[in-house]
Homo-oligomer: A and B are copies of this chain.
Amino acid sequence: MGFPAGRQGQKQPRGNMDIRYLEESDYGPIIRVIDSWFEGRQLAKLLPRIFFIHFRSTSFALYEDNKVIGFLAGFVSQTDPSQAYIHFVAINPDHQKRGLGRQLYSTFFETVHRLGCTTVRCITSPINTRSIAFHTRMGFKVEHITGECSGVPRTVNYELNGADRVLFVRSLP
């Protein structure tokens, strides 16, 4: 799951902001800008179109003035329907520091709780300190810790190409 590095101090007045389910027509506009939202990290390939087609009931777009400025793609586990998983989250860096990530997560939590989920999981990269701080603030705990580096507990070699990941879990009340 991604979470872009922020551009600090850009509090903006709120326009006509709202949240709706993600739609397949969001795929093009999002996929064209997503790498730039993450300072050029190539993340578009982590976001296949299937999330915009088959997981709409638990995936959300934040839009303002008819433009998507953030989104969350998640699903309910089909192995264990009491578990939900957040696959990808991104906020346009020009709209960070407005609590939009919290709004997307709250919407997801309420939705999957209504669907019977009691646990939410997600994964982030150990270098994404903003994402780690955000998830900690949102009540997530790190699980499956097998190592630590630069003070960041992590699951070593989770991706099997040597890349570590931080695995988060949170209970739903």
Binding site for B on A (CB under 8 A): 27-28, 31-32, 45-46, 48-50, 53-58, 75-80, 83, 85, 87, 158-160
Contact = CB atoms under 8 A, between A and B. Distances in A.
14 contacts: A45-B45, A46-B48, A49-B158, A49-B159, A50-B85, A53-B77, A53-B79, A54-B80, A54-B85, A55-B78, A55-B79, A56-B78, A57-B79, A58-B78
A65 B145 CA distance: 33
Number of copies: 2
> Is chain A's binding surface mostly helix, strand, loop or mixed?
mixed
A49 B122 CA distance: 12
A160 B75 contact: no
A48 B53 CA distance: 18
B87 A75 contact: no
A158 to B, nearest CB: 8
Contacts of A28: 160
Contacts of A85: 50, 54
Nearest to A85: B54
A70 B86 CA distance: 28
